[in-house]
Structure 1
Amino acid sequence: MKIYTVGGAVRDQLLGLPIKDRDYVVVGATPEDMLRRGFRPVGKDFPVFLHPQTQEEYALARTERKTAPGYRGFVFHTAPDVTLEDDLVRRDLTINAIAMAEDGSLTDPFGGVADIENKVFRHVSGAFGEDPVRILRLARFAARYDAFTVAPATMDLMRRMVADGEVDALVAERVWQEVAKGLMEARPSRMLTVLQDCGALARIMGEITIGARLLQVIDHAAAQGVDLPVRFAALMLHMRKDAIEQLSERLRVPNECRELAVMAARERDNINGALDLSAEAIVSLCERCDGLRKPQRYAQMLQAVACDGLVAGDFAPAVRLQGGLDAARAVNAGALAQGCTDPKRIPEVIHAARVAAVAAFLAQA
Structure 2
Amino acid sequence: MKMYLVGGAVRDQLLGLPVTEKDWVVVGATPDEMQAQGYQPVGQDFPVFLHPKTKEEYALARTERKSGHGYGGFTFYAASDVTLEEDLVRRDLTINAMARASGGEVIDPFNGKADLKARLLRHVSPAFAEDPLRVLRVARFAARYHWLGFRVAEDTLTLMKQLVASGELDYLVAERVWKETSRALMERDPQVFFQVLHACGALAVLFPELAALDGVPQPEQHHPEIDTLVHQYLCLQQGARLGLSLHARYALLCHDLGKGKTPEEEWPRHIAHEIRSARLSNKVSKRLKVPRETAQLAALVAEFHTHCHRALELKPTTVWKLFKALDVLRRPERLDDFLRACEADARGRTGFEDRDYPQADYLRGAANAARDIHIDSLRQQGLQGPALGEAITQARIHAIMEYKQSWTPSP
TM range (shorter): over 0.9
The aligned residue for residue 46 of structure 1 is 46
| SS in structure 2 at match of 1:65 | strand
Provide closer, same or farther for how the CA distance between residues 171 and 244 of structure 1 changes in structure 2, counting only shifts above 3 A: same
Select the residue among 236, 239, 248 that pairs with 1:230.
248
Cα–Cα, structure 1 residues 334 and 287, in superposed 2: closer, same or farther, change >3 Å? farther
Structure 2 distance, partners of 1:114, 1:41, is: 35
Is it true that 1:188 corresponds to 2:206 in the alignment? no
SS of the counterpart of 1:49? strand
* 1:262-302 CA distance string (max 9 Å, x none): 11111111111111112222122212322222221122111
One-letter identity of the residue aligned with 2:110: F
Structure 1 distance, partners of 2:26, 2:367, is 58
The answer on 1:150 being equivalent to 2:155 is no
Q: Does 1:315 align with 2:361?
A: no
The offset of 1:103, in angstroms, is 0.6
Kindly indicate whether residue 366 of structure 2 is the aligned counterpart of residue 324 of structure 1. Answer: yes
Name which of 265, 279, 289 aligns with 1:242: 279
Q: Using a 3 Å threshold, how does the CA distance of structure 1 residues 193 and 262 change in structure 2: closer, same or farther?
A: same
Structure 1 pair 85–341 and aligned structure 2 pair: CA distance change class (3 A): closer
Q: Using the alignment, how far apart are the partners of 2:79 and 2:386 within structure 1?
A: 77
Residue aligning to 1:258: 295
Q: What one-letter code is carried by the residue in structure 2 that aligns with 1:197?
A: A
Structure-2 change in CA distance of 1:2 and 1:332 (3 Å): same
Shift of 1:364: 1.7
Q: Measure the CA separation in 2 of the matches of 1:364 and 1:93.
A: 59
Aligned residue in 2 for 1:358: 400
- Between the two proteins, the alignment pairs up a number of residues equal to 365
Change (3 A) 1:169 1:278: same
8 Å CA contact 1:49–1:58 kept in 2: the answer is yes
What is the SS of the residue equivalent to 1:20?
A: coil
| CA distance, structure 2, for counterparts of residue 289 and residue 143 of structure 1 | 31
Indicate the SS of the match to 2:209: coil
TM-superposed CA distance for 1:312, in Å, is 5.9
For 1:96 and 1:163, the matched residues in 2 are separated by: 25
Contact 1:89 1:124 in 2 (8 A): yes
2:112 and 2:336 mapped to 1: Cα distance?
Answer: 44
SS at 2:20 equivalent = coil
Fraction of identical pairs, as percent: 47
* SS in structure 2 at match of 1:207: helix
C-alpha change, 1:273 and 1:24, in structure 2 (3 Å) is: same
- State the distance in 2 between where 1:178 and 1:153 align: 22
Q: Match for residue 104 of structure 1?
A: 104
2:393 is the counterpart of 1:337: no
Aligned equivalents of 1:257 and 1:57: distance in 2? Answer: 30
1:278-293 aligned at under 5 Å gives the runs: 278-293=315-330
Amino acid at match of 2:381: G
Post-superposition CA distance 1:34-80 (Å, at most 9, x none): 12211111111111111111111111111111100101111111122
Distance 1:29 1:344 in 2: 73
* Distance 1:290-1:339 versus aligned 2 partners, 3 A rule: same
Deviations 1:125-183 (A, max 9, x none): 01111111111111111111012110101000000000001111100000000000000
Which string of whole-angstrom CA distances, capped at 9 and with x for unpartnered residues, describes residues 11-30 of structure 1? 00000000001000011111
- TM-score in terms of structure 2 length: 0.86
For 1:54 and 1:185, locate their aligned partners in 2 and report how far apart those are by CA, in whole Å. Answer: 27
Q: 1:79 to 1:200 in 2, by over 3 A?
A: same
Question: How far off its partner does 1:345 sit?
Answer: 2.0
Contact 1:337 1:350 in 2 (8 A): no
Cα displacement (A) at 1:313 = 9.1
Compared CA separation, residues 342 and 88, structure 1 to 2 (3 A) = closer
Contact 2:98–2:107 (8 Å) recurs in 1: yes
d(CA) in 1 for partners of 2:354 and 2:371? 26
Structure 2 letter corresponding to 1:224: L
Q: Does 1:169 align with 2:152?
A: no
The unaligned stretches of length 5 or more in structure 1 are none
Alignment partners' CA distance in 1, 2:332 and 2:356 = 19
Instruction: Give 1:294's match in structure 2, choosing from 331, 335, 339.
Output: 331
Preserved contact between residue 281 and residue 302 of structure 2 (Cα < 8 Å): no
